[in-house]
Chain A
Amino acid sequence: MSGHSTYTPKTKFGKFWDDRLPIYRLVHDSFVTFPIPRNLNSFYTFGGILMIMLVSQIITGIVIAMHYVPEASMAFNSVQDMRRDVAYGHTLQTWHAVGASFFFIAVYIHIFRGLYYGSYKAPREILWILGVIIYLLMMATAFMGYVLPWGQMSYWGAQVITSFFSAIPLIGQTLHEYLLGGYAVGNATLNRFFSLHYLLPFMILGIVILHVWTLHVTGQTNPTGVEVKSKQDVVPFTPYATIKDAFAMVVFMIVMCYFVFFLPDYLGHADNYIPADPLKTPAHIVPEWYFLPFYAVLRAVDFNIMIPFTDVVLIDSKLGGVLAMFGAIAILFFVPWLDTSDVRSANYRPLYKIFFWLFVANSVFLGYLGSRPAEGIWIPLTKASTFWYFFHFIVIMPALGWFEKPKPRPASIADSVFGKEDGSAGAAAPSGATAAPETKG
């Protein structure tokens, strides 16, 4: 995809660097001449948006860390003092907190876009897996960051989430104590979470570099799912993608700023404005909204799994819930192999398209269930919704590949684009003819 570098240094200074450390060449090849499919739609701008979000979180985070006190008796007030007495502290702190939510909004759109257009299929399995690793690291980072203000939800959220590790047989208890730095969530926990919260974003940055590197090896997918075949299929990154991404970023920023400046507490939880109190458990402990679907999966397993016809508990409900929750994330790693269809884009997969939207609706619903108390009608609904989550990956994805009859695809990206221009329907080629072997141009 990357092809031969067309960079020629124009100045002496440029030549000096090019002979020693060709960093300008790298930037030129990656962000100027890099070919992108001409038919990318707005959903393909979220990679760039996520990059900006990561940088914005790191910058605001570094600044507010200068004013934050990672000590159990002072952490809560230090955040408030920062909001009140530090120049721009209010904006920076809110930006960081709301920014975390918008980071997840962007990443969810990015992931669902990948699922819709089959972006995980060969040769992009590694690209997808690196993405899932980034997502996992984001979750760890966000969770630890949420603990730092040391409010009631911070504290009790930390209590609940760290207790997952104690469910692991044999080593669970020890692992739990190492994680907490003691027998209960306390100052030691806060200190190590602060340290890790500062470390993980830089690990994310490292993997983002690998993610982008892989992308530049395989090239981007596009809404047709047909690989780039000729120069007519592509346009150079600059100015085409640059201007499009810039526009999308600013629009995304407008939505985010609306929340930062007008609804700063909308996405948070009121209980986190109460200082952490180890003696007072909140009525409902709920995680941040972006974890709610997984929280629902955790609570869906409220039964012990026994060896049939005996009283021997194989997996107790606690371990079962934890396994289901981590399984819900881990299953994403296997998506490239669970999907057996040759066709990438859901545009040409009439059945998958329906199931995709069902999956999206189910995921949103699962999130809503995660915010409900575990009682009454919510329990069976949570179980049904959790079942569907796994059923989609384990049964529907593989089965559709075998049963579904895909629609005919265009022979090339250029074909589909100019077909649209003409606006007339032509003779459809048999799908076999278009399912050309994946070309790594």
Chain B
Amino acid sequence: MSRAARGAAFRQAAGFNYDFKPLVSSVNERKRMTKVSSKLLTLVGSVLVSLTLIGSAIAASGYPINKPREVDWSFAGPFGKWDLGQLQRGLKVYTEACSACHSLSILHYRNLTDLGYTEDQIKNYINDLGKEVTDGPNEDGEMFQRPAQLQDRFQGPYANLKEAAAANGGAVPPDMSLLAKARAPERGFPTFIFDIFTMYAENGPDYIYSLLTGYKEPPEDKEILDGLHYNPYFAAGTALAMAQPLYDEQISYDDGSPETLDQYAKDVSAFLMWASEPGLPDRKQRGFIVIVFLAIFAGLLYFTKKKVWAGVPH
């Protein structure tokens, strides 16, 4: 039955008894209206885009000087997984280089089982660190020191922030537990819109990797204060207090991975991403199941809706 015939049949069934005079809702009229509004939208859109471009050209004085370099991470994308070997190497880099100044205070030693270590291996790791924690009070009412255990949080290099500041010329080295999420240089318009569709969420590790590999001699026209180190990838200025922390062949790998600054930087950035969100692959896996379920559910609802509304002009 044609649409018109169906409409007429319905009118009859619904008991319409007056002369039928359709008004503005003709197909042509609707088409024209859509055309006008889409033209308008295009106009508004292009004005917005050009304004934004002018704006971003002017605001280009901001930091970082260079945008972070993008790395192809194993944990990117909808099916991202940790590369356990990489995380283990990252832990080694953290332990041998970063942990002298940076704490990792939110993590527990037990979390290292995520990296594929057994409890005994983690106990050995703690013993090698030789970290002690204050416990108590004991039966005599006294606090006492004991070696760190699996259930303890990562013990930092300093007793408190004051000590950290005093040891580093006033600049407290930030805690690294959430560093990979707490550093995200602006992506700018329109990149931030494309990021939704490319599922780009690796801003943090890209930034850390770029910073670690980005140290260089300052350009001649740039004056760098004493005690600061030039890095065009630094998000808050031209130079930062931390000197270049990693160099080629500084840390030995026993799995045959290249012992280069580039590899160290990648490994420790991946490790810090893990530290900031150990459940990342589980989240993506759960998300995939949830969305597949919802998509099937939506499909069923769509066809039910079609059936319910069939023959009911609207």
- Complex interface bits, A358-372 against B, C-beta within 8 A gives 1, otherwise 0: 100100110010001
List residues of chain A with CB within 8 A of the CB of B41. Answer: 357
A411 at interface by CB-CB < 8 Å? yes
Specify which chain B residues have a CB less than 8 angstroms from the CB of A239 in the assembled complex.
Answer: 308
Stretch at the interface among B94-102, B251-259, B295-303: B295-303
The total of Cβ contacts below 8 Å across the A-B interface reads: 207
Chain B interface residue count, Cβ-Cβ cutoff 8 angstroms: 80
A-B residue pairs in contact (CB < 8 Å), sample of 11: A38-B312, A83-B279, A235-B312, A262-B287, A274-B174, A357-B37, A368-B52, A373-B62, A411-B21, A422-B22, A424-B22
- 1/0 contact string of B14-50 vs chain A (CB within 8 Å): 1110001111111111100100010011001101100
Q: Please give, as numbers and ranges, the residues of chain B lying within 8 Å of A257 by CB-CB distance.
A: 287, 290-291, 294
With most chain B CB atoms within 10 A of its CB, the pick from A94, A260, A262, A357 is A262
Choice from B7, B59, B290 contacting A378 with Cβ under 8 Å: B59
B196 cross-chain contacts in A, Cβ below 8 A = 263, 266
Give the chain B neighbours of A258 by CB distance below 8 A: 287, 291
Q: A84-B279, A91-B286 are in contact. Are A377 and B58 (CB under 8 A)?
A: yes
Is A409 positioned at the interface, with any CB of B under 8 Å from its CB?
yes
Instruction: Please choose the segment from A18-26, A139-147, A242-250 that sits at the chain B interface, where 4 or more of its residues have CB less than 8 A away.
Output: A242-250
Q: Are A419 and B25 in contact (CB under 8 A)?
A: yes
A419 with B22, Cβ < 8 A, contacts A254-B294, A266-B195 known: yes
Q: Name A356-405 residues within 8 Å CB distance of B.
A: 357-358, 361, 364-365, 368, 372-373, 375-378, 381
Across the interface, do B23 and A419 meet the contact criterion of CB distance under 8 Å? yes
CB-contact partner of B23 in A77, A270, A377, A429, under 8 A: A429
Question: Quick check: is B51 within 8 A (CB to CB) of the other chain?
Answer: yes
Interface residues in B275-300 by Cβ distance below 8 A to A read 276-279, 282-284, 286-288, 290-291, 294-295, 297-298
Which A residues lie at the B interface, using CB under 8 A? 38-40, 77, 80-81, 83-84, 90-91, 94, 232, 235, 239-240, 243-244, 246-247, 250-251, 253-254, 257-258, 260-266, 270-271, 273-275, 283, 347-348, 353-354, 357-358, 361, 364-365, 368, 372-373, 375-378, 381, 407-411, 414-429, 434
B interface residues (Cβ-Cβ under 8 A, vs A): 3-4, 6-8, 10-11, 14-16, 20-30, 33, 37, 40-41, 44-45, 47-48, 51-52, 54-55, 58-59, 62, 78, 106, 111, 174-175, 177-178, 181-184, 189, 195-196, 199, 201, 203-204, 236, 276-279, 282-284, 286-288, 290-291, 294-295, 297-298, 301-302, 304-305, 308-309, 312-314
Bound together, the chains give a CA A40 to CA B78 distance in angstroms of: 36
Interface centre among A251, A261, A417 (most CB of B within 10 A): A261
Nearest to B192 among chain A residues (CB) is A266
B27 near A407: Cβ-Cβ < 8 Å: no
Q: Nearest chain B CB to A274's CB is how many angstroms away?
A: 5
What chain A residues lie within 8 Å of B11 (beta carbons)? 418
